C-alpha cells in the first residue's frame, strides 16, 4: 500500500481507521474522501499521527466522474470503503438516500477502480478494493440460533441492510466478472471514540448524564453483538495485508 483512498474517513469508524493506518504503516499516504454529511466531522481528524501523510478531500461518492478523477490523480492503489448511510431508523423514514449512497456510490467506486486497475493493465500489481459491510445483511437471529458465518444466506430486514446487501453483491460481481481484487468484511455493531451520538451506546450514556429516559427497543429482550472500533480497524488492516480476494 502506498496511496490509500479511505471513503467516509471523517466518520466514526473511518476516522479511527485512518489513525490506525497512519500509525501502523509509516510510508502510506491516506487520501480521506468524505462528503461531511451529518455524521462526518472534521473534528474527528484533529491531532492525527503524521498529519503530513493525510489529505482530506470533501466529495460525495455519488459523483462518479469525480471518483474517477480522484483515483487517477492520486494514483490510488488501495480503496477502503466505509462511506455509507448506516442508521436503520433513518432508512425506514427515507430509503432512497440509502440506495443512492450505499448502492450507486459503491458502484461508482468500483467503476473507478476497474477503469484505473483493469483498463490500464494494473490488475497484476498489488492493488486492492476493500468493502466494509455489516452483519445485518444476514438478517436477525432467534434465541438459540447459531451465530452468522460468511456462508449464511443473505436475508436483510431493513432498507439499510438491503442496500448494504446490494452493494456486497456488486462487489462480488466485480470480482467474478472483471477480476477486480476485492475483499469484504461484515462487522457487527461498533463502539468507541468519535461515534455519532444517535447510536445506542453514546445515546444511553448522554441520556443518563442528562437525567433523560433510556429508550428500550422492542420488548427489551433483543441482543446485540458489539465490536470495539480499534479491534475492527486492526482486523481490516490484517485483511488488507493477508486476505485473499
Beta pairing class for 3-7 and 29-34: parallel
Q: Is residue 160 annotated as a catalytic residue, yes or no? A: yes
Sign of the alpha-carbon torsion through 35, 193, 162, 79: positive
Q: How far is CA 131 from CA 51, 146, 159, in A?
A: 25, 25, 19
Sign of the alpha-carbon torsion through 89, 159, 110, 66: negative
Of the candidates 19, 83, 79, the residue with the CA atom closest to the CA atom of residue 53: 19
Of the candidates 49, 64, 20, 14, the residue with the CA atom closest to the CA atom of residue 34: 14
Q: Is the Cβ–Cβ distance between 44 and 52 less than 8 Å?
A: no
Of the candidates 17, 20, 15, the residue with the CA atom closest to the CA atom of residue 43: 15
Q: Is residue 135 annotated as a catalytic residue, yes or no? A: yes
Beta pairing class for 3-7 and 54-58: unpaired
Catalytic residue among 25, 34, 135, 168: 135
Catalytic residue among 136, 168, 174, 194: 136
Catalytic residue among 31, 160, 174, 194: 160
Torsion of CA 163, 55, 71, 240, to 10 degrees: -70
Active site residues: 135-136, 160
Amino acid at each position: 500500500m502506498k496511496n490509500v483512498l479511505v471513503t467516509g474517513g471523517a466518520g466514526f469508524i473511518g476516522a479511527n481507521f485512518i489513525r490506525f493506518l497512519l500509525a501502523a504503516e509509516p510510508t502510506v499516504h491516506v487520501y480521506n474522501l468524505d462528503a461531511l454529511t451529518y455524521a462526518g466531522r472534521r473534528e474527528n481528524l484533529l491531532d492525527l499521527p503524521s498529519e503530513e501523510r493525510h489529505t482530506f478531500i470533501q466529495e460525495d461518492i455519488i459523483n462518479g466522474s469525480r471518483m474517477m478523477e480522484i483515483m487517477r490523480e492520486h494514483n490510488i492503489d488501495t480503496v477502503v470503503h466505509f462511506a455509507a448511510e448506516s442508521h436503520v431508523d433513518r432508512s425506514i423514514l427515507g430509503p432512497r438516500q440509502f440506495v443512492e449512497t450505499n448502492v450507486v456510490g459503491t458502484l461508482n467506486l468500483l467503476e473507478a477502480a476497474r477503469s484505473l486497475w483493469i483498463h490500464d493493465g494494473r490488475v497484476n500489481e498489488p492493488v486492492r478494493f476493500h468493502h466494509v459491510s455489516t452483519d445485518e445483511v444476514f438478517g436477525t437471529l432467534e434465541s438459540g440460533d447459531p451465530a452468522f458465518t460468511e456462508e449464511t444466506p443473505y436475508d436483510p430486514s431493513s432498507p439499510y441492510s438491503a442496500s448494504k446487501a446490494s452493494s456486497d453483491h456488486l462487489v462480488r460481481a466485480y470480482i467474478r466478472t472483471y477480476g477486480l481484487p476485492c475483499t469484504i468484511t461484515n462487522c457487527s455493531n461498533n463502539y468507541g471514540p468519535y461515534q455519532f451520538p444517535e447510536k445506542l451506546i453514546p445515546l444511553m450514556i448522554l441520556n443518563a448524564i442528562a437525567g433523560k429516559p433510556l429508550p428500550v427497543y422492542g420488548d427489551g429482550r433483543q441482543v446485540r453483538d458489539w465490536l470495539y472500533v480499534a479491534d475492527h480497524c486492526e482486523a481490516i488492516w490484517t485483511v488488507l495485508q493477508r486476505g485473499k480476494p
